[in-house]
Structure 1
Amino acid sequence: MTQSPAIPLPPPKERRRLREAASLTRAQLASRVGVTSETVRAWETGRSTPRGRKGEKYAKLLVALDDEAGMTPLQDGAADSDDPEPAPGAAASHRAARARRKTAATDRKRPAAKDRGRGPVTVPDRSRTPAPHGHRVILTERPRTKPPYRPEDAIAALTPDQAFDALYAFCAPALVRQAYLLTGRREVARESVERAFQIAWQRWPEVARDRDPAGWVRAMAYECALSPWHRFRPRYRHPEPPPPDAFDRALMDTLLKLPPSYRRTLVLHDGVGLGLPETAAETEASTRAAVNRLAHAREAVAERLPELADPETLHWRLVELASTERLRAAKPLVVRKGGERRARFWTRAAIAFTVVLIGTTALTVRTAPTRYEPPVPAGETVQGVPPPVAPGPLSESERDLRAKLRKEEQKGPDRLLPQPR
């Protein structure tokens, strides 16, 4: 049975503030604690509570970050004005940290008299320089009161190209490995991720304002990877080389035998580390359906590979299987330019089809008849007409008359000419 960490934890908002004050990303903090970035997100949003050894390690790390933040002058005002009320068990530690920060603020060297009364100090514009992941470019001096966090602040100082490249560089390598677990094909995994980012670039205003751009792209990449149209491609009919390790081959075969919905749920929950509500939302299912899919998928894997009955062991085994292939994603510039070429091609194709349709319609209107012409009725049989009678044999007198006519035809009478008067 898991136990809560002995060191009291600050509230979820304070955990996030401490991480951002230390300029750490969720992935960096997760690597220090030994968990996934999604688990850190759940701890910072309050959806789950750190427990066990990981929770104790996380609490110690937060205390260390709090001590470092006490020596940083940029966070004194924010800590005194906007920090929420600490938990009852953490009141003493927070009061001590707050006292240390006040002492450090008092001991700091005060500005000279000639520098007092001036406005906020500005720094050169860095909008054209991509900021490293997890850092925000500050264009003015940080205010003494902590402003409300907005998701668009992280990309406010970046151009769309730079923001897209930063998102691609952060998400694409992991997404290619996850798509490989879903399909078992390296080329399909790379193409699916590239296609997902091309769609994201076409709809960048929507993706940039989304609360979870990485989740948006991940859902699109999974849809492309699990598309049933891949089976009609010629290269899909030829199998790719399996993993070299026998255990990895068995695990990959077990994953590919699962239904696509079960496989996707297993990869999201046990591979990526999403919670059940997030997994259900991303797979467009209810939480109960996601639980049933996950349970059946784990049973199928444990039935064939009993060593992976433990979810934690299964998680690390999935990570190792995806990491041994050394799948590389294309450069962000190549993906972005490829998406733009694809969009231009389909735009021109739509314009050409529209022009052909308009031309065909104009030709039809030009050559169509302008008045009504009734159709010619079909012939009808007339009743009551006697059938034609064939001529019979000639009589003797008729034969004589015929002979006479034939003789007169050769000679004939003299031609009559009019005489003048």
Structure 2
Amino acid sequence: MTQPRPVPPLPSPKERRRLREAASLTQAQVAARVGVARETVRAWESGRTAPRGPEREAYAKLLASLNKADKVTNNQALTSTLELQPVTPLAPATPPVPVPPVPPVASLAPLAPRADAPAPPPSGAPLTPAQAFDALYAFCAPALVRQAYLLSGRRELARESVEWAFQLAWQRWPEVAVDRDPAGWVRATAYEFALSPWHRFRPRYRHPEPPPADASDRALLDVLLTLPAPQRRTLLLYDGVGLDLPETAAETEASTPAAANRLLHAREVVASRLPDLADPVELHRRLAEVASAERLRAAKSTVVRLGSERRARFWTRAAIAFTIAIIGATALTARTAPTRYEPPVPPGETVQGVPPRAAPGTLSNAELNLRAKLRAETQPGPERLLPEGR
């Protein structure tokens, strides 16, 4: 009789997910390497199901290689003293774990730094805030532009949303640098800006942009834009980015059941209008294709940092000028205000009992005779003086 092969041990579901995220792998990539669907990997990481058979062996070998690479990364991190610990894993100094070739479709999740990213500092040198910010920008900006485009349907608004989010992150860098998930902080800020209803009142966004050239891309984008904003955001985070349901609920500020209902309703609408996208795996692929079909490039990190600093200086000067105006108005009021109390003049009152003013009436007979007598008689006066001639 042949002895049964020993079952390889597996780490806890929480550790499985941590190892995958430490290696910057998505659930779809892990599923491609193991040979299962992405939903299966999600169930393994949540603990709902356990792998069996050949899939378990392949999954165990993959986790073992990820664990080995993670230990090497941790040893390198311990030898270097970094100022911003939560941001240093995003720097491209540590080489990523080799991944199998993926289809020629740009993913919606950040997988690798940009080609024009700044060079990492020498080994053992601490990262400056600008270098850490540039590393985060190179890691997240390209994918965030594509995600914002799927949310808003506008190319210029997508770029503006990402630049605004990173400008705000640079202004609040001490807070973002120590955040547990800096990429999630920036993503949530960009989503809020892209979905703001006030953009419809801006002159530059009153008219629609040209739709995608491909008919299938136009159909999918039209279906996405008809969804309510919360459902669209939930669908993009879960089926596009690859977050699990609790993370999606936390980022959308909703409960887990509410996020699940939004996701189900969004999938039903998409499946009813596009039956080919009823499969979540196919929907994820098509979302990535639509986003990658457009030429969407974010600005350089240095431009974003300089823009953030200019914006901060402008609002600081505006606040100072407003404060000075208030102080000047207060001083002028205190200078020109009266120093004593002057009671107001009371309004006039009506006096009672005064007879009305009599108007002249007609003359009597005696008055008429007297007036005639006075006019008829010549009144004596002084003698008139005449000049004498010579």
Residues 339 and 18 of structure 1, relative CA distance in 2, 3 Å threshold = closer
Conservation of the 8 A alpha-carbon contact between 1:176 and 1:190: yes
Match of 1:133 in 2: 91
Out of 284, 295, 300, the position equivalent to 1:315 is 284
Q: Deviations over 1:229-264 (max 9, x none)?
A: 111111211110101111111110100000000000
Conservation of the 8 A alpha-carbon contact between 1:168 and 1:332: yes
Match of 1:272 in 2: 241
**Does residue 1:381 correspond to 2:350, yes or no?**
yes
**Does residue 1:355 correspond to 2:315, yes or no?**
no
Match of 1:168 in 2: 137
**Does residue 1:230 correspond to 2:228, yes or no?**
no
Match of 1:248 in 2: 217
Structure-2 separation of matches of 1:271 and 1:206: 27
Identity %: 66
- How far has the Cα of 1:396 moved from its partner? 3.9
**Does residue 1:301 correspond to 2:270, yes or no?**
yes
Larger CA deviation: 236-245 vs 47-56: 47-56
Question: Which letter does structure 1 place at the counterpart of 2:294?
Answer: E
**Does residue 1:11 correspond to 2:11, yes or no?**
yes
Conservation of the 8 A alpha-carbon contact between 2:163 and 2:304: yes
Conservation of the 8 A alpha-carbon contact between 1:280 and 1:287: yes
Structure-2 separation of matches of 1:303 and 1:155: 55
**Does residue 1:219 correspond to 2:194, yes or no?**
no
Residues 28 and 376 of structure 1, relative CA distance in 2, 3 Å threshold = closer
Structure-2 separation of matches of 1:54 and 1:407: 150
Structure-1 separation of matches of 2:383 and 2:129: 109
Question: Which letter does structure 2 place at the counterpart of 1:254?
Answer: V
Question: Which letter does structure 2 place at the counterpart of 1:197?
Answer: F
- How far has the Cα of 1:406 moved from its partner? 8.7
Match of 2:24 in 1: 26
- How far has the Cα of 1:8 moved from its partner? 2.6
Unaligned runs of 5+ residues in structure 1 are 1-5, 79-121, 138-153, 412-421
Structure-1 separation of matches of 2:23 and 2:10: 18
- How far has the Cα of 1:285 moved from its partner? 0.6
Match of 1:97 in 2: none
Conservation of the 8 A alpha-carbon contact between 1:33 and 1:57: no
Structure-2 separation of matches of 1:27 and 1:238: 39
Conservation of the 8 A alpha-carbon contact between 1:33 and 1:58: no
Structure-2 separation of matches of 1:195 and 1:334: 12
Conservation of the 8 A alpha-carbon contact between 2:149 and 2:155: yes
Question: Which letter does structure 2 place at the counterpart of 1:397?
Answer: L
Question: Which letter does structure 2 place at the counterpart of 1:326?
Answer: R
Q: Work out which structure has the larger RCO, using CA pairs closer than 8 Å and 6 or more positions apart in sequence.
A: 2
Q: Deviations over 1:64-113 (max 9, x none)?
A: 567x87xxxx96xx8xxxxxxxxxxxxxxxxxxxxxxxxxxxxxxxxxxx
- How far has the Cα of 1:405 moved from its partner? 11
How many residues matched? 334
- How far has the Cα of 1:212 moved from its partner? 0.7
- How far has the Cα of 1:378 moved from its partner? 2.2
Residues 228 and 18 of structure 1, relative CA distance in 2, 3 Å threshold = closer
Structure-2 separation of matches of 1:47 and 1:344: 50
Structure-1 separation of matches of 2:248 and 2:89: 31
Structure-2 separation of matches of 1:17 and 1:296: 30
- How far has the Cα of 1:380 moved from its partner? 2.5
Unaligned runs of 5+ residues in structure 2 are 1-5, 96-122, 385-390
Out of 146, 155, 169, the position equivalent to 1:186 is 155
Conservation of the 8 A alpha-carbon contact between 2:44 and 2:51: no
Residues 46 and 251 of structure 1, relative CA distance in 2, 3 Å threshold = closer
Conservation of the 8 A alpha-carbon contact between 1:173 and 1:328: yes
Out of 281, 284, 299, the position equivalent to 2:250 is 281
Larger CA deviation: 202-211 vs 261-270: 202-211
Conservation of the 8 A alpha-carbon contact between 1:243 and 1:249: yes
TM-score between both structures, scaled by the size of structure 1: 0.68
Structure-1 separation of matches of 2:136 and 2:383: 112
Q: Deviations over 1:174-196 (max 9, x none)?
A: 00100111000011111111101
Match of 2:62 in 1: 61
The secondary structure found in structure 2 opposite 1:357 is helix
Residues 328 and 276 of structure 1, relative CA distance in 2, 3 Å threshold = same
The secondary structure found in structure 1 opposite 2:350 is coil
Matches within 5 A, 1:88-99: none
Residues 297 and 18 of structure 1, relative CA distance in 2, 3 Å threshold = closer
Conservation of the 8 A alpha-carbon contact between 2:224 and 2:232: yes
Match of 1:201 in 2: 170
Structure-2 separation of matches of 1:236 and 1:337: 25
Conservation of the 8 A alpha-carbon contact between 1:16 and 1:44: no
Structure-1 separation of matches of 2:124 and 2:352: 94
Structure-1 separation of matches of 2:252 and 2:124: 28
- How far has the Cα of 1:403 moved from its partner? 8.8
Conservation of the 8 A alpha-carbon contact between 2:152 and 2:158: yes
Question: Which letter does structure 2 place at the counterpart of 1:297?
Answer: A
Q: Deviations over 1:192-221 (max 9, x none)?
A: 111011111111111110111101111111
